[in-house]
Amino acid sequence: MPKQSKKELIIQEAAAIFKHKGYSATSMRELAEKVGMEAASLYNHIRSKDEILEEICFKVANQYVSHISMIEDTDETNVQKLRDLIQLHVRMIIAEPDEVSVANNDWKNLSDTKKELYKTIRKGYEKRIANLIKAGIAAGEFKDLNVSVALFTLLSSLRWIELWYKPGRDISPEQLENDLMTLLINGFQK
């Protein structure tokens, strides 16, 4: 069994509650109850409610950034890079659905300075995917679409998974990845 600090446990439970009710609607007393201690005791492990949200958001953001770096460093075709990106998104969402969901939905509640940092990181990530799309268009691999439309359609079409996918679903991660790739790369039409 993996060793997990109390702080990690608190953050994990917090992510689950935040996902379900949202950060602002979740009280520290509720979190404490889930973790099995009094609200005041939480503060022996974490500095503030804010800090929990920060840890979740930046952990997720950093994982996404390291993924795109990996993909950029290959010398595959742009279509294959797009496939890799879709696969990495799917796998990250399946591995940590709560954290990914909270980062995507509750980053607005970060403190002003952290929120600006988060937005900067996210914009950098989007820029790198936009470059991938541009390269694909320039190479004649992708259709000549508006880059922003392609970028955000891609990113948001991967976001329902965090809300929908549960281990009990009658679809394997592999089939999910395959259908998603087919849909995004070749579209609905037969």
Interface positions, 4-63, toward a copy of itself (CB under 8 A): 20-25
CA dist 139 and 11 (Å) reads 44
3-state secondary structure string across 44-72: CCCCCHHHHHHHHHHHHHHHHHHHHHHHH
Contact call for residue 30 and DNA (CB under 7 A): yes
Under 8 Å between Cβ of 55 and 106: no
Binding-site string for a copy of itself from residue 121 to residue 160, where x marks contact by CB under 8 A and - marks none: ---------------x---xxxxxxx-xxx-xxxxxxxxx
Query: For residues 39 and 79, which CB has a smaller minimum distance to DNA in the complex?
Result: 39
CA dist 179 and 112 (Å) reads 39
CA dist 64 and 106 (Å) reads 17
Which of 4, 21, 41, 139 forms a contact with DNA (CB under 7 A)?
41
Interface positions, 42-81, toward DNA (CB under 7 A): 43-45, 48-50
Rg of the chain over CA atoms, in angstroms?
19
Binding-site string for DNA from residue 10 to residue 29, where x marks contact by CB under 7 A and - marks none: ----------------xxxx
Interaction site with a copy of itself (CB under 8 A): 20-25, 79, 82, 105-106, 108-109, 136, 140-146, 148-150, 152-161, 164, 171, 175-176, 179-180, 182-190
